[in-house]
Every structure is written in C-alpha cells, then in structure tokens.
Amino acid sequence: MINIFLMLALVVFVVIYWRWHDVMRQYWQHKYAEQNLSEQDKQILLKYMPIYRNMTDKDREKLENHIVWFLGEKRVIGRDGLKVNRAMALLIAADACLLVLNSQWPLYPNVKEVVLYPSSYYAPQQSRDAAGLVNYHTSVRQGESWPGGTLVLSWDNVIEGHRLPEDGHNLVFHEFAHQLDQQTGQTNGTPQLHSEAMYQQWGKVFTRAFSNLKSHVAYGMHHVMHSYGATNEAEFFAVLTETFIEKPFELKQYDPELFTLLTDYYQFDPRNWYRR
C-alpha cells in the first residue's frame, strides 16, 4: 500500500514538474482574473507612452494584462533615497512588457526585482591587466542586467526614454533585452529562438549586421543604430532592440533582412504603432 502511494506521489511530482509553467499559468489566470489597470493608470500610459496611444485595442489589452502580472510578481524598489510611486513602476513595467507582448507568462522568469536609482550611479568594477593583476575601481552607470535576478535602472534615464520616444534610446528596452539574451545561460546576443532554422538564420544575419555596424562606426559611415552597439554582440542585440522599436522605419530601410529577423523574434511589427 505504501509503495503504491509513493509511486502515485512520484507520478504526480513528475507531471507537475514537467507541466510547472502550465500549472502556474492557471494559478496566475485565477489570481489576476479580476485585476485590471485603473483609469488613472491608463491615463498615465496615454500621457507618457506614445506607443500605448497608437496600439490597437487588442494589443493594448495584452500589454495591460502583462503589466498587471509584472507588477504583481516583480518588485520595483528605490535606492539612494528614491521613493518609487505607482506611476514610476507602471512605466517601467509597460516598457518591459512591450518586448514580450506576444509571450506567455511567466515573463522574464529570471527577474525578481528592479532596483531604481534617481540618476546615474557608481558601481564597483574589477578588471585584469596583461600581467594578471586585478584592478578595482568604480564606474558610472545608467543601468545593469544581472543574470541572478536583479535589474538596475536610473530613473532620469528611464523618463528620458519617454521624453524622446523616437530617438532610438530607451534604457528599459536595452536592459530587458539583455535579460532576454541571458535566458539562454549566456550573454552573447542570441536569445532563445523559436526553431533550429531560426538559429541558423539568426547566426547568418546577426553576424553580418554586427560586422557591418563595426565597420560603419570605424570608418564614420552612416548607421541607424547607436555606435555603442558595436561594443560586442550582447550590446548589439540590446541597442538593436531599442532601434527596432523606436526607429522601425529607418531600420527597415537600412537593413530589411535584419528588420525581418527582429519581427520574427519579437512577433510584432512596431511600425504599426507609429503614425506616418
């Protein structure tokens, strides 16, 4: 009798383990079924997020549901005396959820908290020289994305991204793109893709585009993306994400193949959110 009970318990455990995300989605659907953004929340998004204003009702509803889930499951906490209010957390959640608009819960499963500084902040850093000696120093940063579950942002740079919504710079898009990249266990500019064929296409197009940007930056040639994207593959993906969402028409004209690669990955076309 005990052996039968243990066997049944083991079967239940295995089923739950392999279907954990499905089990949790049902739990979340029940938990958040009656929760919606308030009219005040929506007015804040209408005022500060032009993309939200131009969305279809269907996309807006998906984004709102994601925001409710994000704010219910992630912590947004202030540092250096900054008190985080509802509007601040709402804008960060909205930008983060936009990247995963057509994804299922859980969103950003590795992120547990967002730490918000009032402005650019000092962070300890270490480097190793050619002789193998480790040097310790500090650097000024606007944001960081840690694989361990913490994402760091500076509020003045977050709000600047909303003040100039079509300049190709958005700190939240940038740092959460790093989180998508890190879901593979590496930070190399290649996020989790939908198929083996897409990995092959990504490798070909992404590598070519990254090489082009480095050459264009080095020789002062025209490029749509910020030159910081030429730093390495991880930064290229993050900067490319900013450009894709905020300058979609320019990116499409600059590199149609790269633009198509991003629409296939993110599963939306941001051109639909701009009035031209």
Q: Is 24 a member of any domain?
A: no
Kindly tell me if the per-residue pLDDT of 172 is higher than 90.
Answer: yes
Provide the 3-class DSSP secondary structure of residue 234. Answer: helix
Q: Is 213 a member of any domain?
A: yes
Q: Is 226 a member of any domain?
A: yes
Q: Is 8 a member of any domain?
A: no
Kindly tell me if the per-residue pLDDT of 134 is higher than 60.
Answer: no
Of residues 17 and 236, more confidently modeled: 236
pTM of the model: 0.89
CATH code, 222: 3.40.390.10
Residue 250, pLDDT score: 97
Give the total number of structural domains in the chain: 1
Q: Is 167 a member of any domain?
A: yes
Token output for 213: 């940007």
Nearest C-alpha neighbor of 241 from the set 178, 183, 158:
178
Residue 17, pLDDT score: 46
Q: Is 28 a member of any domain?
A: no
Q: Is 238 a member of any domain?
A: yes
Q: How far apart are CA 93 and CA 234, in angstroms?
A: 22
Provide the 3-class DSSP secondary structure of residue 150. Answer: strand
Residue 142, pLDDT score: 84
Q: Average the pLDDT over each of 87-91, 220-224, 240-244, 249-253 and give the range with the smallest value.
A: 220-224
Mean pLDDT over 28-49 rounds to 94
Q: Average the pLDDT over each of 136-145, 149-158, 175-184, 196-205 and give the range with the smallest value.
A: 136-145
Q: What is the pLDDT of residues 233-242, one digit of tens each?
A: 999 999 999 9
Confidence band, pLDDT 50/70/90 cuts, at residue 96: very high
Question: Locate tokens 């082009």: which residue?
Answer: 212
Q: Is 31 a member of any domain?
A: no
Give first-to-last CA distance, the chain, whole Å.
71
Q: How buried is 65 (Cβ within 10 angstroms: 0-12 exposed, 13-18 middle, 19+ buried)?
A: middle
Kindly tell me if the per-residue pLDDT of 12 is higher than 50.
Answer: no
Kindly tell me if the per-residue pLDDT of 181 is higher than 50.
Answer: yes
Kindly tell me if the per-residue pLDDT of 158 is higher than 50.
Answer: yes
Give per-residue burial for 180-207: e unless 16+ CB within 10 Å, then b. Answer: bbbeeeebebbbebeeeeeeebbeebbe
Tell whether the torsion through CA atoms of 194, 199, 201 and 202 is positive or negative. positive
Confidence band, pLDDT 50/70/90 cuts, at residue 136: low
Tell whether the torsion through CA atoms of 169, 170, 175 and 179 is positive or negative. negative
Range of the structural domain that residue 204 is part of: 36-125+135-273
By percentage, how much of the chain surpasses pLDDT 70?
87
Mean pLDDT over 88-110 rounds to 97
Q: How far apart are CA 162 and CA 31, in angstroms?
A: 31
Q: How far apart are CA 25 and CA 66, in angstroms?
A: 12
Mean pLDDT over 32-56 rounds to 95
Kindly tell me if the per-residue pLDDT of 229 is higher than 90.
Answer: yes
Kindly tell me if the per-residue pLDDT of 11 is higher than 90.
Answer: no
